[in-house]
Chains A and B, each alone.
Chain A
Amino acid sequence: MDLWCLIIYTLYMNNTDIQTLADLSRLHLSSTEIESYTKDFEGILHYINTLQSVTINAENKIDAGINTNYLREDDESYSPGDFSEDLLNAAPHRKGDFIKVQKIL
């Protein structure tokens, strides 16, 4: 594959790529939907790929913005059982004090 083909390959997606993304996202898509998303992704990726040509000057001093999370001591917890009934009632499948799930293995 020459370089040009590689660039085209990275830029655009085909139906198989969309099917893979749907599988990763746990979605069932019909063939018509896959066609339609493939077309949409072409436009979206074309737009966001404009970033690939932007170079970042490593010498730029970056000190703006707040990226600090304030983590607290875990000492303000609720009393046991405060929310249990509400949360269990929200579960689609409940058995006693447990949320019922399908077999995992």
Chain B
Amino acid sequence: MEFKKTKIRELHANLVSGNITVKELHDQAHKAISVNNKSIHALIEVYTDTPHTFGEHVLSGIPVAMKDNILFKGKKVSAGSKMLENYVATYDSKIAEIFNTIGDHVVGRANMDEFAMGSSTETSYYGKTLNPLDQSRVPGGSSGGSAAAVAAGMAMYALGSDTGGSVRQPAAYCGLVGLKPSYGAVSRRGLMSMASSLDCIGPITHCVEDAEIVFNAISEYDPLDATSIKPEDRKKYQEKNSNKKVIGVPRSFLNREGFNPQARENFEQSLSKMKSEGYTIIDIDLPTIEHALAVYYIIQPAEASSNLARYDGIRYGLSEQGEDLIESYKKTKTEGFGDEVRRRIMLGAHVLSSGHHDEYYYKAQALRKVITQEVHDAFTTVDIIATPTTSDVAFTFGEKKDPVAMYLEDIFTVPYNLTGNPAISIPSGINSEGMPYGMHFTAPLFCEKKLFEAGKDFERAII
């Protein structure tokens, strides 16, 4: 059963009825790995010790690829960095605990931009990942290995992490569904921190129904993550929201340079198709959202530079010895961190420095609140906010040379990491070269259900 032509529920039913075995599913994944991984380079480590048994859970026995920043005790995990090349996880993430209960059917560690900093998976110390749909193009990032593994049939689905679009953008570029859950819905315990107030773990799948199944499995409250939201509090948000099928489009935000006309046409056609599914499309005004990316590029480096200070060569990871302690720190960090990570650590140091934190960090925090309020207020009149996932299809290697051009990749996805809202990217057709576009839906906090309902309607509408 070809992974992309089936659904998780269908595979599970076939496992239960005995039509297929877990071994056959994994053999199929490993065959795709042996044929494609050498060229695509989606997985940086392949596991061959997965059990051949399965349990009751619908995900049990189904091959999954795991981004290289989620800890499984006793297994290597490197965040795509030389700094952690030989690091072995000393504890289980909440995700690992969940998957150990379901039955650990992880096929391998998926490549990623170093410490999740990037939009193309080009910054990985272990080499770039290619887009399986066109190998001259990037798979997106930072969860590019996760998306490429699914697109190339090496796994039925994958987990990634999304700090500014790192699940949704690669999903869009590889023709897949990518979900960033509400902040606080999925535990971050054991996910290597990049920017703690923005990081979310989410699934990359072939269809919305599969994303819903994976989300339901991983969205457990975790008392060991202080930012995990309790079920009773999630419910308060859900009670306020009934689906009246109204989609809001922030028009002024879309009128920007660099939005490819073909991509715009695809987006408009997608909206018309939702109209034919009974949705009302209205324009909404989110006046401050155009500043979201600038806000993000202050808050994210600030948090990342603080989080990455821990890699000092003393407790774990790479350790280079210098004449004294300071020299050892410098040698270790210089040797262990790649170009983009260094750039963001220095940017973080700059925006947090005593002379600048008022104009940068505090201003960005204040604007983050304003953007959050505007999005929150928009949901009093609409159920879903729709934009494209990206301004164009996957770009070719080396196309984005300067950092700002790369950062602009996340223009449409970043706002909802700042606000915490759940968001999903769903394939919305292809361009004249056969490369996929993504439709991006956002819903009120903890209303992932609305994304799944609208998402399934959308999938039906575009067939």
**A contacts, CB < 8 Å to B:** 10, 13, 18, 21-22, 24-29, 37, 40-41, 43-44, 47-48, 50-52, 54, 56, 60-66, 69-72, 76, 83, 86-87, 90-93, 99, 101-104
- In contact, A76 and B223 (Cβ under 8 angstroms): yes
| Total of A-B residue pairs, C-beta within 8 Å | 155
Interface flag for B342 (CB, 8 Å): yes
Interface flag for B334 (CB, 8 Å): yes
Q: Taking A91-B316, A102-B328 as contacts, is the C-beta distance between A50 and B294 under 8 angstroms?
A: yes
8 A-B contacts (beta carbon < 8 Å): A25-B349, A41-B347, A47-B297, A50-B291, A62-B370, A92-B313, A92-B314, A92-B317
**What's the nearest-Cβ distance from chain B to residue A71, in Å?**
6
Chain B residues with Cβ below 8 Å from A40 are 343, 402-403
**What's the nearest-Cβ distance from chain B to residue A69, in Å?**
4
Q: How far is the CA of A83 from the CA of B325 in the complex (A)?
A: 26
| Interface set, chain B 325-353, CB cutoff 8 A to A | 325-326, 328-331, 333-334, 337, 342-343, 345-347, 349-351, 353
- In contact, B90 and A65 (Cβ under 8 angstroms): no
Chain A residues with Cβ below 8 Å from B445 are 66
Q: Taking A50-B294, A69-B227, A83-B91 as contacts, is the C-beta distance between A26 and B326 under 8 angstroms?
A: yes
In this complex, how many residues of chain B approach chain A with their Cβ under 8 Å: the count is: 71
- In contact, B330 and A26 (Cβ under 8 angstroms): yes
Q: How far is the CA of A41 from the CA of B369 in the complex (A)?
A: 26
Q: How far is the CA of A63 from the CA of B223 in the complex (A)?
A: 25
Q: How far is the CA of A64 from the CA of B416 in the complex (A)?
A: 13
**What's the nearest-Cβ distance from chain B to residue A104, in Å?**
6
**What's the nearest-Cβ distance from chain A to residue B448, in Å?**
15
Q: How far is the CA of A54 from the CA of B351 in the complex (A)?
A: 17
- In contact, A27 and B330 (Cβ under 8 angstroms): yes
- In contact, A54 and B367 (Cβ under 8 angstroms): yes
**What's the nearest-Cβ distance from chain B to residue A39, in Å?**
9
Complex partner residue of A90 from B87, B360, B369, B376, CB under 8 angstroms? B87
Q: How far is the CA of A22 from the CA of B333 in the complex (A)?
A: 11
**What's the nearest-Cβ distance from chain B to residue A94, in Å?**
11
Interface flag for B425 (CB, 8 Å): no
Interface flag for B22 (CB, 8 Å): no
Q: Which chain A residue lies CB-closest to B298?
A: A48
Chain B residues with Cβ below 8 Å from A22 are 346
Q: Which chain B residue lies CB-closest to A93?
A: B319
- In contact, B333 and A27 (Cβ under 8 angstroms): yes
Q: Taking A40-B402, A104-B325 as contacts, is the C-beta distance between A62 and B369 under 8 angstroms?
A: yes
Chain B residues with Cβ below 8 Å from A48 are 294, 297-298, 351, 360
